[in-house]
Structure 1
Amino acid sequence: MTAEVRLVREADLAAWFETVDVAFGGLRESAERAAWWRSVVEPERALAAWDGGGIVGTAGSFSFGLTVPGGAEVPAAGVTLVGVLPTHRRRGVLTQLMRRQLDGVRERGEPLALLTASEPAIYGRFGYGPATWELRMAVDTVRLAAPEPPGADGVRLRLADPVAALPECERVYAALVPGRPGMLARRPGRDRQGVLDPEGERDGAGPLQCVLAEVDGEVRGYARYAVKPGWDDAGPCGTVQLRQLDALDPVVHAALWRYLFGIDLTSSVVARGRPVDDPLPHLVADQRRCGLGLREGLFVRPVEVGAALAARTYRTPVDVVLEVADAFCPWNAGRWRLSGDARGARCERTTDAAELALSVRELGSAYLGGCTLTALAGAGRVRELRPGALAAASLAFGSEVAPWLPHGF
């Protein structure tokens, strides 16, 4: 079918959100979370697919700044609220929405599009590749000793109201953004996402709590968490549900974990969405007791290959000709010469012979340095056309710190 895809008018926003709810199973969000979504949505970036006078599909995006290797903040479209009614699936509606959306991203001059995927298998055909991974931990705080780093006793901890402490927590977060690829420069209003705490979403846990870590009167870290009580025949076995933990130095990071280990009436800390290089597993004696798991986080799609590759730096000098396939955004297809180092880069069209061949999806996966071109080549998704080109480019694309998306959108 061919639906009519157009921007949402203010008068259509209620119907637009209604369609999102139905597309995601019909569960209503809490009034608190729904109000927050409505406060941050950008109507000028909200698309609807119409059929017979009603909305049958939705796609929105946020205007973000994404940290890339080298520390630059690159404009990016954060794709969100994508859904199609069950009556209109497998009829091309999603493809129409993605087509219109990526054309709009290009028109705005944003070289990258980003998303987190509820169904990852959908988005590869539109050029999105998984680019960050996140660590899940279920830490046994009974069998593991708490971290005891030198200097931790000099960190003062105090409980604070999560909402009232937002400005102090945001200063910590903002200081960390330039140092890690994948982090997002938060726009006004987005900070409140971290303190949303609808009672109906607590799943038996208590209210959100916040602990601030201070050194010489300066807040240098924080943790937001909730406690879910539990009891068995042996006594209390509650769970600390960690929502966020950010710290400006290793001592503060360890001190916050030591605090979480010591919360009364609990026997574990569950943390989701942590960076894969989180220090915690290296602060304890037995990593197996950390219950580690891994899943993909952020998906990246270069919308303008030349601008995207030139916007980041490279860990080692690189000079390579890439043959890029991109059926959905054909302006990216063809040969590009990428040359750069830790100081900067250029990426321009060329007629020189290709040395590596890959699709835009693989470029997205490798872009932030969390997935190696060598690994993608092992899966047959990158082809080396000149001996030695793969190893050199793979090393250059790497990142000293693991890329990480700290929150969804």
Structure 2
Amino acid sequence: MSAHGATVPVELRTLVPEQWDAWYATLEEAFGGVAEAPEERALWRALTETGRSLAAWDGDEVVGTAGAFSFRLTVPGGSPVPAAGVTMVGVLPTHRRRGVLRSLMRRQLDDIRARGTEPLAVLTASEPTIYGRFGYGCAVERMSLSIDTTRVSLAAPEGTDAVRLRLVPPEKAADRCEELYAERVPLRPGMVARGPGWERLPLLDPESRRDGGSPLRCVVAEEDGRFCGYALYSVKPEWEAAGPSGTVRVRDVEARSPRAYAALWRFLAGIDLTSSVVAHSRPVDDPVLHLVSDVRRCHVSVRDLLHVRPVDVGAALSARAYAAPVDVVFEVEDAFCPWNTGRWRLTGDTGGAVCAPTRDAADLALSVRELGSAYLGGVSLAALAGAGRVRELRAGALERAATAFLSPVAPWLPHGF
């Protein structure tokens, strides 16, 4: 296919390392043509799994890209489930609406299925309207908030004053921060275990991304001399006629105790010469919402984050636990991956589950996209039914299934990929 609409073959090939620069340049062009900082580009080059990356070639030109990372994703019940982290998807503007993206998605899902080890594919979408037609459903939302610290105070549990805070260069605290992050991964669906090399991502801080802010800062919390939490942040100084109005930009906050968590947020809200604390990616049930004195002055908003697609419905539903006993037959429609289409009987509880094909009458009818949305326990099957996206075929089945699928904590992904 050419820029002028004439049909020419577009060949999909697995990426080889020597082609990475041309491949990544195509991706940068697809996202507006702004070159990334050298340190950012070097990190993604090191993390790219070339054997899982695809290039669409029009003659000797790379016109489309798609890749996948080999992740282990926490699911309800705390188990880590292998998942393909779909990434670096782009098509040159000269080749849009010519089926290149569809071809890449088709080949990628076929490859994931052929591996036989990953029942799920997940992605963060530049535009959420793109991936629904390929069976991806939004399963995780992120919360953004901007706290007006001139009018909002933060309460704190008893003992918070005993927490010691120290400023530490981020690179010197990195190992302890990674250990704490690893402890948190099994506790919340949607979290991804960081393999070798990924520990560099939280510290990535190119000057081109600072927008007038300071270099990355790290404050650590200690209780009885033991490391128990950290916050990564930067400060953007600003001044108005009435005085300083700087902004604290929060990248990450993790802690082992409510006292340490409150101490870190109280520190961030009290930094001199600032009047607001901004965080753009927090779980929607973040405890900070219950520490602030006035949530209305925190300017909370929510948007989509992680989109989930069952590649193997039976294996995916069998891999997680359920909050209540469930015995339900799903009538699943999956036009893009027809091997999932049909009836599936799910039986399970808090100890695990089994899901297998069945000829029994269906209790609920839905597409694979809705299964993806509900999979991590943050989107209710009942809410989807209210939108007409799930149909109840047996009275009472919806309520029981919706209760079983929910997670006690909201799913969340602290960083993109």
TM-score of the superposed pair, with normalisation by structure 1:
0.99
Structure-to-structure mapping, 1:8-87, within 5 angstroms: 8-87=15-94
Equivalent position to 1:375, from 368, 372, 383:
383
Out of 266, 273, 284, the residue aligned to residue 265 of structure 1 is 273
- Cα RMSD (Å): 0.8
2:115 aligned with 1:105: no
Deviation, 1:201, is: 1.1
Matched, 1:128 2:133: no
Contact kept, 8 Å, 1:147 with 1:255, in 2: the verdict is no
1:42-67 CA distance string (max 9 Å, x none):
11111001111211100001000000
Alignment match of 2:394 (pick from 364, 386, 396): 386
Deviation at 1:146, TM superposition (A): 2.9
Q: For residues 6-405 of structure 1, what are the structure 2 equivalents within 5 Å?
A: 6-108=13-115, 109-405=117-413
1:147: how far off? 2.7
Counterparts of 1:219 and 1:47, CA distance in 2: 42
Letter in 2 for 1:314: Y
Contact 1:137 1:292 in 2 (8 A): yes
Q: How far apart in 2 are the matches of 1:39 and 1:239?
A: 33
Contact 1:172 1:219 survives alignment (8 Å): no
> Does the aligned pair in 1 maintain the 2:154–2:293 contact within 8 Å?
no
**Stretches of structure 1 lacking an aligned partner (at least 5 in a row):** none
Is 1:210–1:224's contact at 8 Å kept on the other side of the alignment? yes
Map Cα deviations across residues 209-244 of structure 1 (whole Å, 9 max, x no partner): 000111122211100000000111111110000011
Residue 249 of structure 1, CA deviation: 1.7
Q: Secondary structure at the match of 2:126?
A: coil
- The one-character-per-residue Cα deviations of 1:376-404 (angstroms, maximum 9, x if unpaired) are 01111000000111111001000000000
Q: Which amino acid aligns with 1:219?
A: F
Deviation at 1:149, TM superposition (A): 2.2
Over the matched positions of the two proteins, sequence identity in percent amounts to 64
What is the number of residues matched between the two proteins?
Answer: 409
Q: What's the CA shift for 1:247?
A: 1.1
Q: TM-score, normalised by structure 2?
A: 0.97
Structure 2 gaps of 5+ residues are: 2-8
The residue type equivalent to 2:284 in the other structure is: V
Contact kept in structure 2, 1:339 and 1:345, CA below 8 Å? yes
User: Which contiguous aligned blocks of 4+ residues in structure 1 show a shift greater than 6 angstroms?
Assistant: none
Summarize deviations over 1:357-391 as a string: whole Å, max 9, x none: 00000000000000000000111100000011111
What is the letter of the counterpart of residue 217 of structure 1? G
Q: Distance in 2 between matches of 1:330 and 1:134?
A: 31
Counterpart CA distance in 2 for 1:373 and 1:146 is 35
Contact 1:69 1:368 in 2 (8 A): yes
Distance 2:74 2:255 in 1: 18
**CA deviation map 1:123-173 (0-9, x unaligned):** 000000000111100001111123332111121111111112110000110
Mapped partners of 1:87, 1:253: distance in 2:
49
- Deviation sequence 1:68-126 (CA, Å, 0-9, x none): 00000000000110000011110000011001111111122200000000011000000
Tell me whether 245-254 or 370-379 shows the greater mean CA deviation: 245-254
In the aligned structure 2, how far is the partner of 1:389 from the partner of 1:188?
44
